[in-house]
Amino acid sequence: MRDRTVVHMDINHCYAQIEEVRRPELRRRAMAVGGDASRRHGIILAKNDAAAAAGVKTGETLREAVRKCPGLLILPPDYDEYMRLTEYVREIYADWSEYVEPYGLDEAWIDVTALYDSAGSAVKAAEAVMWRIEQETGLTVSAGISWNKVFAKLGSDMAGARQIVTIGRDHFRELVWPRPVRELMHVGPAAAGKLQLMGVHTIGDLAMYPETALREVFGLPGEIMRTAARGDDPGRVAAYGYRKPQAALGMTVTMMRDADSFTDLSAVFCIVAEQLSARLRQMGLECRVIAAALRTNDLKWQTVQRKLPVPTDLGEELWRESMSLLKEKYTLAKPLRAAGLTLTELRPADRDRQISLFTDENRRDRLRSLEKACDDIRERFGAGMVRRGCTLMDTELADPVYTAEHIPGPAGSFGGRKSVTDGSV
């Protein structure tokens, strides 16, 4: 069977480049797009070449970035514009092939196997597509071409702006294997740390490591990482427009001041639970597992989770469960900067579910009607129009939660975890 030809394209420092397209004079100075420092979302989301040359890094705090590069211009993000342009770029990909799978706003895989006989003609076609993108949107992209998704992405990471890196079967050992293991998709920072301790430093080391040993340490992800390193990643490029079924739903908020008591957290979680439950009902889903993610003011994340006694789409139950989960499994040793909930094991809301002896289904139905009525009111008049008393105790803390920005993040590497977050890290 003929090898696949998968192209991965990546819009270079996407948000910053879109700002440069709108205002070309920004190309001449160090500039970055950063979260809103007044809302404590103060991190660098993207930077231009001049800022990168000064050492500014994506993900670092605005303060750190300005220290490195004193004249740095920091622009607030304009997600509407980023979505408009990146969607247009995706349409250009879709003109090329019907297999286009976006990965976040700025990246996508395109399967062009059926279109070309050789990798050489695929490269020429990719050049033409890159030229078209630049002509029509002003954006430069980099591309990687390989027979699998993982190496295609690695290729585009290795390529500079307007460049294409082809990783073929005949030379991938020389090209890919000497590279640090962290550069491989599916290897996160935590896994990379563990791998270092095991003496696995390069992608080649990972490819040659005994499978059973990896499985013992990492479980299934270990096997996936090794398969990826060997170039055997079987992942297909999804058809354009295909959406994976929702696997998780989450919302995290960075608070206007640190939360230092369960009372503070209760108000925040109350709103988060309300908003998530409204989304669940909108999608006709209920969840089985609830996880609370907490970030202390020294920027460390911790997650606790629990399986619910009965699947639910009720805000009140999500709220009470999350608070009882926290009180049971979490000690508030340090003030919290950010907190949120993630709901998993989503499934269609099953109205004919088995009735538990210990839950009052009539009461739950009444509660559902009440919450739906509140959803309608919020939809018509605004998010904070109907609210529980506990969220009025400290409006400075609670109010901004209602207006937290919801930004779709990229689907995770394993099984398409998709969540709604405020974009803060």
Partner 1 sequence: MDLYKKYVDVIAMHRKSGKMMPMYICWEDGRKYKVDQVLNVSRRVSPVGGCGVRYVCVVQGQRKNLFLEKDKWFVESCQP
Do 233 and 153 meet the contact criterion of CB atoms below 8 Å apart? no
Do 201 and 182 meet the contact criterion of CB atoms below 8 Å apart? no
Task: Give least dist CB 129 to partner 1, A.
Answer: 14
Task: Give least dist CB 142 to partner 1, A.
Answer: 18
Region binding partner 1 by CB under 8 A among candidate stretches 117-125, 133-141, 177-185, 343-351: 133-141
Question: What would the two tokens of residue 371 be?
Answer: 């919450």
**37-60: b (≥16 Cβ within 10 Å) or e:** eebbbbbbbbbbbbbbebebebeb
* Residue placing its CB nearer to partner 1 in the complex, 23 or 257: 23
In the shown chain, the binding pattern of residues 200 to 239 toward partner 1, with x for contact by CB under 8 A and - for none, equals ----------------------------------------
Do 281 and 369 meet the contact criterion of CB atoms below 8 Å apart? no
Type of residue found at 131: W
Question: What would the two tokens of residue 17 be?
Answer: 């480049």
Do 205 and 181 meet the contact criterion of CB atoms below 8 Å apart? yes
Residue 250 Cα distances to 109, 168, 291, 306, 353, angstroms: 25, 39, 9, 15, 24
Task: Give least dist CB 140 to partner 1, A.
Answer: 11
Question: What would the two tokens of residue 393 be?
Answer: 């105790």
* CA–CA dist 174, 169 (Å, integer): 10
Residue 21 contacts partner 1 per CB under 8 A:
yes
* Residue placing its CB nearer to partner 1 in the complex, 135 or 362: 135
Task: Give least dist CB 163 to partner 1, A.
Answer: 20
Residue 28 contacts partner 1 per CB under 8 A:
no
* Residue placing its CB nearer to partner 1 in the complex, 83 or 377: 83
* CA–CA dist 194, 351 (Å, integer): 45
* CA–CA dist 116, 65 (Å, integer): 45
Residue 242 contacts partner 1 per CB under 8 A:
no
* Residue placing its CB nearer to partner 1 in the complex, 92 or 167: 92
Region binding partner 1 by CB under 8 A among candidate stretches 132-140, 227-235, 376-384, 395-403: 132-140
Number of residues located near partner 1, criterion CB under 8 A = 12
CA 201 to chain centre: 26
For residue 141, give the 3-state DSSP assignment: strand
* CA–CA dist 274, 276 (Å, integer): 6
Residue 84 contacts partner 1 per CB under 8 A:
yes
* Residue placing its CB nearer to partner 1 in the complex, 86 or 322: 86
For residue 134, indicate whether it is catalytic: no
* CA–CA dist 332, 111 (Å, integer): 49
* CA–CA dist 261, 390 (Å, integer): 13
* Residue placing its CB nearer to partner 1 in the complex, 67 or 84: 84
Question: What would the two tokens of residue 223 be?
Answer: 């096997």
**Distance from the first to the final alpha carbon of the chain:** 44
Q: Which of 127, 134, 183, 345 binds partner 1 (CB under 8 A)?
A: 134
Which of 20, 107, 274, 371 is labelled catalytic?
107
Residue 138 contacts partner 1 per CB under 8 A:
yes
Region binding partner 1 by CB under 8 A among candidate stretches 37-45, 135-143, 193-201, 315-323: 135-143
Tell me the residue ranges of DSSP E strands in 12-163.
Answer: 31-34, 44-47, 73-75, 100-103, 107-111, 141-146
Q: Which of 135, 212, 331, 354 binds partner 1 (CB under 8 A)?
A: 135
Which parts of 315-374 interact with partner 1 (CB under 8 A)? none
Residue 136 contacts partner 1 per CB under 8 A:
yes
Residue 131 contacts partner 1 per CB under 8 A:
no
* Residue placing its CB nearer to partner 1 in the complex, 3 or 91: 91
Do 315 and 371 meet the contact criterion of CB atoms below 8 Å apart? yes
Region binding partner 1 by CB under 8 A among candidate stretches 37-45, 130-138, 251-259, 395-403: 130-138
Q: Phi first, then psi: give them for residue 264, nearest 5 degrees.
A: -60, -50
Residue 75 contacts partner 1 per CB under 8 A:
no
Q: Considering only the C-alpha atoms of the chain, give the largest distance between any 2 of them, rounded to a whole number of Å.
A: 69
Q: Which of 45, 62, 85, 318 binds partner 1 (CB under 8 A)?
A: 85
Residue 137 contacts partner 1 per CB under 8 A:
yes
* Residue placing its CB nearer to partner 1 in the complex, 49 or 134: 134
Task: Give least dist CB 136 to partner 1, A.
Answer: 4
Where on the chain is the footprint of partner 1 (CB under 8 A)?
21-24, 84-85, 88, 134-138
Catalytic center residues:
107
